Amino acid sequence: MLSCSNILSTFFAFVTIGGCFLSTNALYNNSIRPERLPPFVRFSNPDLMSSDVGDGSSFPFDTTQEDADPLKLGGIRLREEAKKLSARLRRLSNEEMGITTMQTIFDSLGYVVSSPDYEVKLSELSKQLGIKLSQYLGVLRTSKMTVENLYQQHLLVSTGQPLDCCEIPNSALKWDENYESLVSHEFSCDLLPPTAVGPGVFNPGRNLTEVFQHNVQYIQSIKWQYFVSTEGIYNEFPAHNCPSSILSGCKNAYDCRHRNLFYSSVYQRRKNVVVVIDQGNSLSPVQLKIAKAVAKHIINSLNENDQVAVMSVSSDVKFSRNDRCVLDQLAHLTYEAKLFHHFFIDHVVKETTPMNHSLAFKTAFSLIRKSKLSGVPGKPADVLIAYISRGLLSTIADAKGIISTLYDEIVRTSDRVFINTYAVIDETKPVMYERSFLQDIAEQNFSKFLADQHLSIPPLRGKAVAVNSTHNLCAVVGDIFEPFGWTVDNLPILSLPVKDELGKGTVVSLTWPCLHDSHLFGVVGMDIHAGDVLESATYYTEDNSYVIVLNNRGKVLVHPDLDRPILSSIQPLFTDLIHFENIADAADLQKRMAQETKGQETVFLQAPVNSTRGVSNNMRVGSLGPGSADYYWQHITMKHSNQTVFIVVLKVFRDSRRYLKPNSAMNDTQLVYHRLDLLSTDHSCIHLKQLATFDVSTFFLTASAFVHPFDHLIQDETKRMVQGYLAYLNDNTNLISNPGILDHIRMDVMATSVINSEWLRQSIRSGLSEHIVRRYVATPNGVFRVFPGTLLNKKYDPIRRQWYIRALERPGKVTLTPPYLDSGGAGYIVTISHTIYEGKPAALHGPSDRVTAVMGLDVPFKYVYRLLTEQLPVCELENIRCFIMDDRGYLVAHRGLIEANDRGPLEEKHITHKEPLVSNDILNHRGFVTKRACHSFMDRTTQRFYQFNTSLDGILTNLVHGEHCARYQITPIFGTNSFIGIVNQTCDMIRAFCPCSTVDRLCLNCHRMEQTECECPCECPLSMNFCSDDIIQANESKGSCSRYPEEIDTVKALPESGRTLPQCYQPNCGQKLKKTECIGVIDCEWCEVDNDRVTRVKQPFCASQRMCFGGVLGAQSPYNDHIPYRELPKEDPITFKSMPVGPVAGGIMGGFLLLALGIYCHRHRICQDSRYSGSLPDGQLRDPNNENDFDEMDDSYNGYINIVLSTFDNPAKINPYFMNTSYRRPTNTESDLGYSSMTPRDDSEQASTACMESVVMGRDRYRPAVPVVRPPTSGAALTILPPPPPVHSARKQKPLVEVESNTSVLERDFGVEPMQTVIPDRMTLLPHQVVTDVVIHATNAH
């Protein structure tokens, strides 16, 4: 019979999942009686209460917490411990990072106050962008004139030198970093449709190569240049072979490559298209496949200015999405709409009912009428219906009814509707009257079927096309919009930025029709790096303002919340300004910006929306908080068309700006630029994985420090360029010309250089050098200084990194970042960062002061946990867990982060992942944590995150009526962005959990977000309304997430010349004999788990992370530079008891010699036929799967080794041979065979071994030697490891593992050969017996 307590425990397990729980006291009282049960149930979620469950007094929700009793946590006063930890972090920042020194430096500098004229600044920005557009148009015009001249010559004498892109071998191409592809700048190539052959076809081909080459020399940001003819020929420069990963391969590339740009240039008016797909039961699989391909080809031929509807029809109609926009009207073909349409088309399946043609036309015309496409009364719009069908009818008589329905719909519609029919043909099926029926529809042949009716409108003839294959669709389908008969506008067209299909980053396409006597014969165009087009806005760094760029439709192209175009890996989502700027009446402001070519408006800023990743757009650097801001804007028009292409907006927070006085900072050391590969120092070395120097700090200039940022990024720096930088920056006479660096950069370089001596002095005298990876400082203007001096990636930008962004959120505080993988090779690290204020002599600084720099310090992430455990030793107890988390709830230190495992990266581990009991309880503490959401337009997600209140005064503990299985206390670490917590878990049963996806970050329920419901930080798909561009998830915040911190590798690839340099720093991990000494040391790991990922090693030891990453022996390093190892014996070392030798020593020695003589005779009989070849008879060969080779036995046998007696076929004319028991094969040779270390005598190399050779030389004879990993024995240190190999040349050899085989007990238990003699672990000694050490000398082989 179940007891009451068991029933309650079972009931508890069920009600916890529902979000409520019983009183803990009742559950743990074994003597409780039913009549003594509490008369209520406590809910952790007050929203679950309703009027249906009694009255409110019966279900109270009490948020009162328990007293912070130190006795519940072993007497720990957490508040006091947090203050001590805060003092240690502050001291670490002040002394090791140099915060006080750097602040003193800036306080001592002179400043000048300036209030810029922002209208003039906006005019300068607009002028820069306008000049770039003029340059692009000039280059494109040259290409256009060249093509038109070639066409005129072609009409007289047909010329052409075709070179098929698909036939170019890879050997003729070269990888180009700017293109992210294999290309050749020596020639252009062609994509040729099968129909475009013959002498009469115009193919300028390679005649354009020289012009294209000159264009690239003039403007290096030009990426692809091309010409598309009306006959389908496609010429492109530079040449490439169109990788197969692009669509369906090279042979089909001309069907899609820039096809939408061709139509947008030829038909510059908005195109309205309704795509109808037949999915009736008469379609064969081949016909359905063709129908899908034709539909997608039509969609791909349109652009974002066109309006589209897509439907599939059988007996009913299906749309691509079930929202009112798609169901009631044609919608703009944005990138998102195109994705939805493609997804819908891919999932169209054949239905079991026939195609209802009348229903299809009724639905299509209904959409056209509802859309009101004309916009101008009396001026109808042109609409195209792309009707893709087999055209099968039940009977021939049905045709009249369908044509009659079509006529009625046309009469009711005010717009001009053309119909293109695409008959999908399966060669295996007979075609009767289907094609004739579809042709009648395309030609609107009403007189054929409605001869008895009076026709009031003339037919608008479309195209009837038969398609029997998915190949060559561009040639087969032809000009889709030919029925419109529009005249071509001879004007250039600029597209929205799109992701480059063949490379990384986004490009802007500029196209121009090519005409001859008003006859269109093609379009010439070029793709330009969007990073170059928009560089003046992207790299704008004034800290009290920022730049926004809109296109002519008001879509945001550049904003601080968006990534840099050069690094965009996905297609950005361009949406309205209202989603980025959290201001009142943003829609009205955007409308005014679109209408007025120039203007200014002052707006009130709403409270900032806290972001999951950075500073809110209303709280940028230098802003004084919510208040007012000024928006200045100006239109940029394109020559030849006089159309607005961009709207440049400058948002200014009302605040004056102070600038450093020229020459107010003098450099006290020689400046060293980070390009150590070009101008090396006297003591260059390798710091982990970076070319570095410990003699001096180096400075790095980001792209924003240059007059032309994008040119700096795509050009290779040369030694002469670097010398020019240094000469200009070191010049105090102002006589050396500026090499392209912004004027104010020199002062930042000089000011930050003063910290160099302090860093160098601290690195020598500090006792924490083995815990500090690097120190650095960055300014908003683009100056970055680091010690030790390091070679960096040119695209690196510190102000876009997490440590910089988080420090700006908490100015004046010590900021900790959650662990992340260091690209420099230090493993997982934590960055401690702090802001530096603008100079203010003899005055205290406050959070409202302007930030002029941010300093950072990188330490191994386990070092932070080491600080925690040194402060709170109780954290090492089994049932006690301590942690540090930041103000978003991400763990900086926790036992679960340092436990030995190789389960993957440690980034973004949240308190909800590791402490679900605590997370469920703290969500009910009002005012401590808030669940928020923001929209990320870069990856099209809604991000859910937590914001913790760092101003908490006191200690947070369990709710009185909350979860008591885990007693916890949490308090802020004063002066930081973090909290310290301690958990005492007294039971094993998990009574609460936080739902988390195990495969991605997708929220389990994207339709609701409750404040008190625990869930891990997650994301939901962001869906936009195709018609209004509104966000469909209207119930969530409309704030914009700040941009993702850039994850670009900091490290520049190690040059060939640097791979022979020594390591700057030797951690000497083997000398760390205790875990407390090893943890938190650079490049060291405390090795606790064996290579099977389960078994604990018998004797943990400290080793390099390359051989024991994450504390797991042989775990794969994320740098792919792991060191293979030999498996360690799992048994205890063989030990013996020592006894006094006494008077029987001589007898014992005699007995032992007899034993040796017997072994010698046995071995002599076995090895008498052996030769130096290293082979044995088949029956005596070792198992090839046995990894426990003789020469890999462990040192842990403490001198008692297996005795191996070998014979010699050729007697050695030398002194008796002595084998060194600590012998290990050298790692740098194969031929030595270990002789030099096996004997202390020089003549040992004359010795030959026959039987020994068979033991030493086996399957590993020709294997490259590898270092052997062994735990240190009493006082012994591990050998210093060699420098790590470069990442790209990581070892391919797998670590040796134990393989099951038919081995003897001796082999299995001790890892030795059966022929070897082994002294047993335990033996029964008689009274007259003794065991002692002996050394056996083999003096002769015969």
Res. 232: pLDDT tops 90: no
Res. 1001: pLDDT tops 90: no
Q: Helix, strand, or coil here: 313?
A: strand
pTM of the model: 0.77
Taking only the tens place, the pLDDT of each residue in 1070-1083 is 999 999 999 999 99
- Which of 772, 357, 796 shows the shortest CA–CA distance to 564? 796
Res. 156: pLDDT tops 60: yes
Under the banding of pLDDT at 50, 70 and 90, the label for residue 1137 is very low
Q: Helix, strand, or coil here: 416?
A: strand
For residues 1234 and 69, the model is more confident at: 69
Taking only the tens place, the pLDDT of each residue in 338-397 is 988 999 999 999 999 999 999 999 999 999 999 888 766 678 899 999 999 999 888 888
Res. 812: pLDDT tops 90: yes
Write b or e for each residue in 25-50: b if 16 or more Cβ atoms lie within 10 A of its Cβ, otherwise e: eebeeeebeeeeeeeeebbbbeebbe
Under the banding of pLDDT at 50, 70 and 90, the label for residue 253 is low
Give the percent of the chain with pLDDT over 70. 74
Q: Which of 268-277, 907-916, 1005-1014, 1218-1227 has the lowest mean pLDDT?
A: 1218-1227
User: Using the 8-state DSSP alphabet, how is residue 96 labeled?
Assistant: I
Taking only the tens place, the pLDDT of each residue in 289-342 is 999 999 999 999 998 889 999 999 999 999 988 877 888 889 889 888 898 899
For residues 197 and 879, the model is more confident at: 879
- Which of 52, 106, 1300 shows the shortest CA–CA distance to 752? 106
Q: Helix, strand, or coil here: 1020?
A: strand
User: Could you report how far apart the first and last alpha carbons of the chain are, in Å?
Assistant: 84
Q: Are 853 and 836 in contact (CB under 8 A)?
A: yes
Res. 807: pLDDT tops 70: yes
Q: Are 1313 and 1307 in contact (CB under 8 A)?
A: yes
- Which of 317, 327, 406 shows the shortest CA–CA distance to 367? 327
Q: Give the mean model confidence (pLDDT) for residues 952-975.
A: 86
pLDDT at 344 (0 to 100): 95
pLDDT at 780 (0 to 100): 93
Taking only the tens place, the pLDDT of each residue in 528-552 is 999 999 999 999 988 788 999 999 8
Taking only the tens place, the pLDDT of each residue in 1084-1100 is 999 999 988 889 999 99
pLDDT at 345 (0 to 100): 95
Q: Give the mean model confidence (pLDDT) for residues 965-981.
A: 93
Q: Are 782 and 705 in contact (CB under 8 A)?
A: yes
Q: Give the mean model confidence (pLDDT) for residues 1274-1294.
A: 40
Where is mean pLDDT largest: 169-183, 1243-1257, 1302-1316? Answer: 169-183
Which residue type does 1299 have? V
- Which of 826, 741, 788 shows the shortest CA–CA distance to 1083? 826
Under the banding of pLDDT at 50, 70 and 90, the label for residue 285 is very high
Res. 737: pLDDT tops 80: yes
Task: State the average pLDDT for the chain.
Answer: 77
Residue 1211 main-chain phi, psi, to 5 deg = -65, 140
Give the percent of the chain with pLDDT over 90. 41
Q: Helix, strand, or coil here: 668?
A: coil
Here the tokens at position 507 are: 């490009």
Res. 961: pLDDT tops 80: no
pLDDT at 938 (0 to 100): 85
pLDDT at 878 (0 to 100): 85
Here the tokens at position 1074 are: 């205790």
CA distance 743 to 741: 6
Taking only the tens place, the pLDDT of each residue in 120-132 is 999 999 999 999 9
Which residue type does 12 have? F
Res. 1167: pLDDT tops 50: no
